[in-house]
Structure 1
Amino acid sequence: MAETTTVRAEIGASVWKITAAAGAAVGEDEPILILESMKMEIPVSAPHAGTVVEVLVAEGEQVEEGQAVATLRR
Structure 2
Amino acid sequence: MSSVVASLAGTVFKVLVGPGDQVAVGQEVVRLESMKMEIPIESEVAGRVIEVLVHEGDFVNESDPLLILE
Place the TM-score, normalised by the shorter chain, in its bin. over 0.9
Tell me, which stretches of 5 or more residues in structure 2 are unaligned?
A: none
The 5 Å alignment of 1:32-71 reads: 32-71=29-68
TM-score (normalised: structure 2)? 0.93
Q: Distance in 1 between matches of 2:4 and 2:23?
A: 13
| Paired-residue identity, % | 39
RMSD: 0.8
The alignment partner of 2:17 has SS state of coil
Q: Which structure: larger Rg?
A: 1
Deviation beyond 4 Å, 4+ runs, structure 1: none
TM-score (normalised: structure 1)? 0.88
